Amino acid sequence: MRGVTCSWWCEHAWLPTGPAVSVRIEAGADGVITAVQVGAEPAPGDHLLQGMVMPGFANTHSHAFHRALRGRTQLDGGTFWTWRDRMYALADRLDPDTFRELATAVYAEMVLSGITCVGEFHYLHHGPGGARYGDPNAMGEALRDAAHAAGLRLTLLDTCYLTGGIDVPLAGVQRRFDDGDAESWADRVSMMCDDDTFRVAAAVHSVRAVPADQLDVVVEAAIGEDGMPRPVHVHLSEQPAENAACLAAYGCTPTQLLAAHGVLGSATTAVHATHVTAGDIVLLGESRTTVCVCPTTERDLADGIGPARALADAGSAIALGTDQHVMVDMFAESRGLEMNERLRSGQRGRFSLAELVDALAPAGHAALGWPAGGRLEVGGLADLVAVRLDTLRTAGALAGQIPLVAAGGDVDTVIIGGRLVVSGGQHALLEGVGRSDIAGRMVRAVAGAWNTSPSS
Ligand SMILES: [Zn+2]
């Protein structure tokens, strides 16, 4: 891990016990917190962090390239499936270079909003028609490059994607997702290596995309060299059509199918779980499967509101993701979790503030294979996000209620593994540029992704 022994004095800090005032945090050269002291005076050499210092946010579910669809799919209504047609048109055009440029801008946008760790649910593996690149992991390596450039941690959820629907072969652009079978997928993934800020893990696209007998192979391949399961993520029951297809083919719900093939468990994250039955909720909770909800995407795509409170009560940890990036703001995701519940139940406070912060930081880190992340405590990763209390959005709010009012644009400083990545709202690694420069980079990257001029 980069970085040197460092210390910070925080005006306010959100500790595992809740918000605290005048907090000193020290970290070693390995980027791990070595001391946390509450009610302390600043010491010589401390970096002063004004506002509320939160643990770094984990964006548990991302498809980086979907960022190029923002503001380009909103006319004429449409459905999840018409949105997917646009997404496929985009996927058809990307190559490792345009993918790297786009992902770099997207990850920079994430870091500027306080995201210090991202789970990239990655299935765009191969070239047009399924042709292999010289390095069969060229697209995954482009994501590694992008994360390094933007300065955040990345768990590559390399995704097994074998069929276009249950018993439906992949066609057209979907051929780019195809490894042939789960064994070949596992062989390709095994060629990638972890580094200090990059981890390789597994995903099953969905029960639509991986035949039941291949699920066992994925689960087997996700066992690490230490015998411990690595994270496995899976899209689950985002749309009622998936449930209907699974019921018709297998006579059970997608959750039941995953349970029968050993996919569920504490190392597994089910993404969305929007249309699950009461029995599914029990299976997910009792197996300690994490559920990642993506409220801004689920409302944008008219997916529906999942039973997040019931899933949490059943035993599932709740994590959050910006998914297709209609916006990149983890505060909006965490508030969406609570606000959806308020609209449904007619009650406020369905999730406590402590639960919302858990979803923002430690739950997502654990789901992405960074169990030391998301907690400002000794032994935790020195990933710090300072949120301003003097912006128009936050001014006058009590520091202890900041997660309920702040937005990503209120993030002033981001430290990842003890290293300064954002300072004064400026990205410190990408040549010290500000938000407007990252926006310009995004315009060029989106145009490059669509293979058009930036103005069109
Ligand atoms: Zn997704």
Ligand 1 centroid–CA 63 distance in Å is 6
Residue 138 lies in a domain: yes
Q: Are residues 289 and 394 in the same domain?
A: no
Q: Are residues 50 and 185 in the same domain?
A: no
194 CA → ligand 1 middle, Å: 23
What CATH number corresponds to the domain at position 111? 3.20.20.140
Band (pLDDT 50/70/90 cuts) for residue 83 is confident
pLDDT of residue 327: 97
Q: Give per-residue pLDDT as tens, 322-380.
A: 999 999 999 999 999 999 999 999 999 999 999 999 999 999 999 999 999 999 999 99
Angle at the Cα of 75 (from 71 to 78), degrees rounded to 5?
110
The label of the residue with tokens 């003890």 reads 418
| Residues 342, 408 share a domain | no
Distance 203 CA to ligand 1 centre (A): 11
Report the number of distinct structural domains present in the chain: 2
276 in any annotated domain: yes
Provide the pLDDT for residue 224.
86
Give the pLDDT band (50/70/90) at residue 453. low
Residues 31 and 64 in one domain: no
What's the pLDDT tens digit per position in 42-67? 999 999 999 999 999 999 999 999 99
Calculate how far, in angstroms, residue 66's C-alpha sits from the geometric centre of ligand 1.
10
**Do 106 and 41 lie in a common domain?**
no
> Do residues 49 and 413 lie in contact, with contact meaning Cβ atoms separated by under 8 Å?
yes
Domain assignment present for 285: yes
For the ranges 76-80, 203-207, 398-402, 408-412, which has the lowest average pLDDT?
76-80
Confirm whether 28 is domain-assigned: yes
400 and 298 in a single domain? The answer is no
End position of a domain, from candidates 330, 346, 367 = 367
pLDDT at 382 over 70: yes
Identify whether 446 is part of a domain.
no
Give yes or no: residues 71 and 128 share one domain: yes
Q: Is residue 453 part of a domain?
A: no
Any domain includes 120: yes
Residue 61 CA to ligand 1 center (angstroms) comes to 6
- What are the residue numbers of the active site? 272, 323
Q: Are residues 27 and 170 in the same domain?
A: no
Core vs surface per residue 388-418: b (16+ CB within 10 A) or e: bbebebbeeeebeebbebbbbebbbbbbbbb
Task: Mark whether 316 and 403 lie in a shared domain.
Answer: no
Q: Ligand 1 centroid to 237 CA: how many Å? A: 11
**What's the pLDDT band for 431 if we cut at 50, 70, 90?**
low
Q: Which of 367, 386, 406 is the last residue of a domain?
A: 367
Structural domain for 149, as ranges: 57-367
pLDDT tens digits, 156-183: 999 999 999 999 999 999 999 999 999 9
26 and 68 both lie in a single domain: no
Asked whether the predicted pLDDT for residue 1 surpasses 50, the reply is: no
Mean pLDDT (the chain, rounded): 95
Specify the CATH number for the domain of residue 22: 2.30.40.10
Alpha helices in 117-196 (DSSP H): 138-150, 182-189
User: How much distance in Å is there from the Cα of 245 to the middle of ligand 1?
Assistant: 19
What CA–CA distance (Å, rounded) separates 431 from 425?
13
Domain boundary among 367, 386, 416: 367
- Cα 397 to Cα 291, 352, 393, 404: the distances in Å are 31, 18, 9, 10
pLDDT at 99: 97
255 and 382 in a single domain? The answer is: no
**Which residue from 123, 21, 103 is spatially nearest to 59, judged by alpha carbons?**
103
**Angle, to 10 degrees, between the axis of helix 138-150 and the axis of helix 96-112?**
30
Q: Are residues 294 and 168 in the same domain?
A: yes
Distance 171 CA to ligand 1 centre (A): 20
Q: What is the pLDDT of residue 253?
A: 98
CA 388 / ligand 1 centre spacing (Å): 31
Q: What is the DSSP string of 207-267?
A: TTTS-HHHHHHHHHHTB-TTSPBPPEEEEESSSHHHHHHHHHHHSS-HHHHHHHTT--STT
The answer to whether residues 427 and 420 touch, using CB atoms and an 8 Å cutoff, is: no
pLDDT value of position 81: 84
